[in-house]
Structures are given as structure tokens and as C-alpha cells.
Amino acid sequence: MNTKKFSTAMNEISDKYITEALDYRKTGLQQGWVKWSAAAACLAVILTALLASLSDYLNGATPISPNDHDRFLANHYNQNILSSESAHPTTIHIDKQGIFINEVTALADAAFPYAWTDPEQYDRIILDRAGTADYYGKDLTPAYIPAGLSAGCGNGTADVVMEKNGTVVWDTAYLCFYHDYYEDGSPKLTEDIAATKGFSLTASRTGLLSDCVYILSENDVITSDIGGTAVTFGYRSMSYGPYDSQTHEPSGYYDMYVAEFNFEDIEYQLIANQMELEDVVTIVASIIYGNAEIVIDP
């Protein structure tokens, strides 16, 4: 540190603060040791501002004026907190024993009520990535994507139907993450198992049209709690071909998991094929917890 830089940094402290500190000292001589405490506190504030200004000046930053010093200290504190959280992300532990799996019998799609929209009553539009993020208030891409899976080319867009007055009557966003794709963009089947490998994620603010049918009645389906969000997990063993021409037996079976939940006024449905349950739970948790580190405890 040279004399010129130190002198310049000292000049950033207003005379008003120095005068106030001296006044505290004079008052303290008359009113006792309580006022000395106030003077010490005032001097401490001055020293804090001085050190902050000096440090920023020596590092090439714009000096902070005394009038902004409280705001600077608050921002500096917040930046330290954010930096600390970024360097050491929150770790969320999820007990696998608390994840309940319901048996799925089928996936049903309800009839689309606006398949033949009257252009005089409704507008049907496709939102681009920016429009989709603005409509849903976030990027719908999960923070966790299992290794080996990649996003589909249409991810980040949404289909919306609205009345002429601007009221949205239906919306859906569809994202997919699979191991590979055909030239037309559809998910590719794996070589050893004639099925897709990866997951699709559907989101809607007005309510999803597809529905998962469970063996148990709606009142008996068990939900799992993830961060205060009730998530319904489902499972079905899926067959794949080629099928024996005589017995009609499949070549084998693969796992299909389903997860359905409502989070921040958005309804989600995740369908995963040829994936481990731990990955499915982690994907759901990453939608709820964001960039936190998710650990599934056995």
C-alpha cells in the first residue's frame, strides 16, 4: 500500500461522520460511560466504512460514498451468503423408505376439448422458449438430468389455447430427455430392448389431460412427501416385442415409472422408461429443490 492510495481512500470518509464521532466523545465526558459505548460503536462504523472503501479502492473498484455505506454493507453480506451457498450447495437427503410406489394399470389420455377450436372464439398459439419461460414463470427443465440423456429438439416450447379476451383455457408444455433420437426428432428405441430409454415431462397450469390409472382407488393411492410437495409415484412392468407368434409371449419386460405432482401452481407428470427409481426421484426432487445436491438414502 502506498501513501497516495491510502490518502485517497481516507478522503472517501465524510467529515460528517468524523464530527458525529467527536460529538459522541464530548457528550460522553458529560454523561458517563454509556455514551462512551455509543461513541465506540460510531467509530466502529467509521472504521468499517474506511476498510471497505480502502479495500475496494486498492482492488480497482469504485469507492463507496459514506451515504451508501449501509447499503454497501448489506449487499456485501448478501453477496457473501450467495457466494457461500454457490460454493457449498445445499444437500437434501431423501429417505428411499419414504417413497411409496403405487401399481399402475394404464396411462389414459382424455379427449382434447379444443381439437377443433373455433378461430372466432379461440386463439391457439405455440410459445417459443422465451414465451414459455415467461408464461410458466421459470425454465421447466429439471436441474438434474441423468447422464446419457439429452434434450429433445422441441423442448422449451408450449401449446396454449386462449379466448379472444386473453383468458387461457388450456396449456401444456412437453419436454423429453432420451438416450437418442431418430432424424424426425422422435425418441429412439434401444437395440437390446425395443423401447425408449429416458423420460418425458409434461407441465400445465390449467390441468393435464393425460391421466395415470392406478390399481388402488383414488382415495387409497399413497403419496410421498418431497419438500412439502405430495408426489404420487407409480410403477408398471412393460412388455416389449417381438412377440412369439404361437404363445404371444413378449421378448421381455422393462420398468416404467410415473411421477405426478403439483408444484407452484404447475401440474407435472413424468413418465420414465428403462430408468432406475433413484434417478426418477432425483429428477422430481430437482424440480422442487432446484440446484440443491440430492442424495437418496437407502
**pLDDT tens for the 298 residues of the chain, in order:** 444 444 444 444 445 444 554 454 444 444 444 344 444 444 444 444 444 444 444 444 334 344 443 333 334 333 333 333 444 469 999 999 999 999 999 888 776 776 667 888 899 999 999 999 999 999 999 999 999 999 999 898 999 999 999 999 999 999 999 999 999 999 999 999 999 999 999 999 999 877 788 998 888 999 999 999 999 999 999 999 999 999 999 999 999 999 999 999 999 999 999 999 999 999 999 999 999 999 999 9
Quickly count: other Cβ atoms within 10 Å of residue 10's Cβ.
12
All three cell numbers of 230: 405430495
Residue 196 burial (10 A CB sphere; 0-12, 13-18, 19+) = buried
HSE-up (13 A, CA, CB side) for residue 183? 0
Which residue is listed with cell 396411462? 107
| pLDDT of the residue at 81 | 36
For the chain, how big is the Rg over CA atoms in Å?
A: 30
| pLDDT of the residue at 115 | 65
Q: With contact defined as beta carbons under 8 Å apart, do 9 and 53 qualify?
A: yes
| pLDDT of the residue at 100 | 97
Q: With contact defined as beta carbons under 8 Å apart, do 140 and 252 qualify?
A: no
| pLDDT of the residue at 15 | 52
Own/partner contacts of 52-60, CB < 8 Å, gap of 24 or more, are 52/76, 53/9, 53/12, 53/13, 54/6, 54/9, 54/10, 57/5, 57/8, 57/9, 57/12, 58/1, 58/5, 58/9
| pLDDT of the residue at 209 | 77
| pLDDT of the residue at 280 | 98
| pLDDT of the residue at 119 | 86
Distinct helix (H) and strand (E) counts, the chain:
6, 13
- Give SS3 for 267: strand
What whole-number distance in Å separates Cα of residue 265 and Cα of residue 285?
16
Q: With contact defined as beta carbons under 8 Å apart, do 258 and 233 qualify?
A: yes
Query: DSSP 3-state helix, strand, coil percentages of the chain (rounded to 5)?
Result: 35, 30, 35
All three cell numbers of 255: 420398468
pTM of the model: 0.69
Handedness of CA 186, 192, 194, 200 (dihedral sign): negative
